Amino acid sequence: MPDGTPLHQRVLRDAPALRVAGLIAPAQEAAVAAVEARYAVAITPAMAALIETAEDPIARQFIPDAAELTTAAHESADPIGDDALSPIPGIVHRYADRVLLKPTLICPVYCRFCFRREHVGPDGGLLKDAQLQAAYAWIAARPAIREVILTGGDPLMLSPRRLASILGALSAIPHVETLRIHSRVPVAEPARLSEELAEAMATEKPLFLVVHANHAREFTAAARAALRRVQRRAIPVLGQSVLLAGVNDSEAALEDLFRAMLAARVKPYYLHQLDAAPGTARFHVPIARGQALLAGLRGRVTGLAWPTYVLDIPGGHGKVPIGPEYLEQTGAVRDPQGAHHALAAHQPDRG
Ligand SMILES: *Cc1c(COP(=O)(O)O)cnc(C)c1O
Ligand code: SF4
């Protein structure tokens, strides 16, 4: 270990550190080291502090598992087809009106189910100034683009100065109307989201923060305080989650997660079906199960808590809603309790 920082204050990055912290058994060390040779590992003190058992929903998201070295037949290194949609470094363009810009591939933690796991990591992907300038020019030359989504990696791993500079340059493009940042920092490393970093996000043009969180316990007091620093600057915060086996694949876990978001003034936006990245099969939840879980919340949990359940179609075809259906082929609708009601008498076009 390079410095005298106590273990509980360090980001844990390798098998020996995880073993010393008591997060893996000595017998697992070799297997975890093999995973770490292939995929980035990091667990922040904030997340490590939440881990109670090796199988709990926080541990499962971040502690490497030997199963990651097995790629299932349906899995792919580029599960949603981003590579073909990247005209220049850092840019992914799939939809006419919006574009992704990835200024860094560094994250505060490395999620074991990450759809970009072949790309993210501590030593990669920081766009150089010339590459950023090229990205701005690329966006400036396309007036159809109205929104730039900073993702990665995690844009809130940048310094306040660099983030402010990027947001300033994007804001200066006349046709860019809104900005968005996708980040796990507010929950995974809340202390990093300082007043200074929050101030860097205080742009003149509307900016939306979308925080990635998968379990209610991620919304600690420190995370809520970090989100407040952002919200006080008139930045709306939305939530996105991935439906994950052993983490949030029950009605109770989803209800608790979405209620924890609302309690932190975070509007649930998307619940993602897991993308088939290599070695992530242990997290897979069938779509029919996801639909049943959401249907179980309908009518019982405030509509504010309701995210759109989405699938990113493999091959680069885009995201589509896959939530439970209430309107039936027969022209009837299903109510939250499952009873059917004919619509013909109320909707004249449905006779
Ligand atoms: C997910 C995604 C977006 C954002 O989609 P929204 O539905 O607007 O949240 C934009 N571009 C790409 C390439 C994406 O994968
Ligand atoms: S924070 Fe996002 S990009 Fe980073 S490892 Fe987790 S899922 Fe992947």
Q: How many CB atoms lie within 10 A of CB 3?
A: 5
Among 5-9, 172-176, 328-332, the range of highest mean pLDDT = 172-176
Least confident span in 115-129, 230-244, 260-274, 293-307: 115-129
Reported as a single tens digit per residue, the pLDDT across 110-138 is: 999 999 999 999 987 899 999 999 999 99
Is residue 162 predicted with pLDDT exceeding 60? yes
Q: How far is the CA of 104 from the centre of ligand 2 (A)?
A: 12
Residue 304 confidence (pLDDT)? 97
Q: How far is the CA of 284 from the centre of ligand 1 (A)?
A: 21
How many Cα atoms occupy the beta-carbon half-sphere of 272 within 13 Å? 19
Is residue 146 predicted with pLDDT exceeding 50? yes
Would 289 be classed as within a structural domain? yes
Amino acid letter, residue 294 = L
Least confident span in 68-82, 144-158, 209-223: 68-82
Is residue 46 predicted with pLDDT exceeding 50? yes
Sign of CA dihedral 253, 258, 264, 269: positive
Average pLDDT (322-338) is 92
Would 113 be classed as within a structural domain? yes
Would 305 be classed as within a structural domain? yes
Would 295 be classed as within a structural domain? yes
Residue 265 confidence (pLDDT)? 98
Is residue 295 predicted with pLDDT exceeding 70? yes
Residue 72 confidence (pLDDT)? 92
Residue with tokens 């022209």: 331
What is the percent of the chain with per-residue pLDDT over 70, rounded to a whole number?
Answer: 98
Residue 344 confidence (pLDDT)? 80
Residue 2 pLDDT grade (very low, low, confident, very high; cuts 50, 70, 90): low
Residue 83 confidence (pLDDT)? 84
Ligand 1 mutation pick, 95, 267, 275, 317, max ligand atoms within 8 A of CB: 95
What is the percent of the chain with per-residue pLDDT over 90, rounded to a whole number?
Answer: 88
- Look up the CATH number of the domain holding residue 142: 3.20.20.70
Q: How many CB atoms lie within 10 A of CB 108?
A: 24
Which whole-number Å values give the CA distances from 202 to 160, 166, 267, 303, in the listed order? Answer: 11, 12, 19, 29
Ligand 2 mutation pick, 58, 116, 312, max ligand atoms within 8 A of CB: 116
Ligand 1 mutation pick, 85, 100, 242, max ligand atoms within 8 A of CB: 100
Average pLDDT (242-251) is 98
Would 4 be classed as within a structural domain? no
Ligand nearest to C-alpha 94: 1
Q: How far is the CA of 338 from the centre of ligand 1 (A)?
A: 32
Ligand nearest to C-alpha 114: 2
Residue 141 confidence (pLDDT)? 98
Quick one: which of 49, 155, 163, 47 has its CA closest to 111? 47
Is residue 82 predicted with pLDDT exceeding 90? no
Would 58 be classed as within a structural domain? no
Is residue 100 predicted with pLDDT exceeding 50? yes
Q: What is the mean pLDDT of the chain?
A: 95
Residues with CB under 6 A from ligand 1: 92, 94-95, 98, 100, 149, 319
* Number of structural domains found in the chain: 1
Ligand nearest to C-alpha 79: 1
Residue 3 pLDDT grade (very low, low, confident, very high; cuts 50, 70, 90): low
Extended strands (E) in the chain: 91-95, 98-101, 147-150, 178-183, 207-212, 237-242, 267-272, 308-313, 318-321, 332-334, 340-342
Sheet of 91-95: strand order equals 91-95, 98-101, 147-150, 178-183, 207-212, 237-242, 267-272, 308-313, 318-321
Would 258 be classed as within a structural domain? yes
Sign of CA dihedral 47, 51, 54, 58: negative
Is residue 24 predicted with pLDDT exceeding 50? yes
Would 5 be classed as within a structural domain? no
Residue 1 confidence (pLDDT)? 46
Print the domain residue range for 127: 73-341
d(CA 228, CA 61): 25
Residues with CB under 6 A from ligand 2: 107, 110-111, 114, 116, 120, 152-154, 184, 212
Average pLDDT (273-283) is 96
Residue 63 pLDDT grade (very low, low, confident, very high; cuts 50, 70, 90): very high
Atom 1 of ligand 1, nearest CA residue: 319
Residue 252 confidence (pLDDT)? 98
> Which of the residues are catalytic?
94-95, 98, 107, 111, 114, 116, 275, 312, 319
Residue 350 confidence (pLDDT)? 56
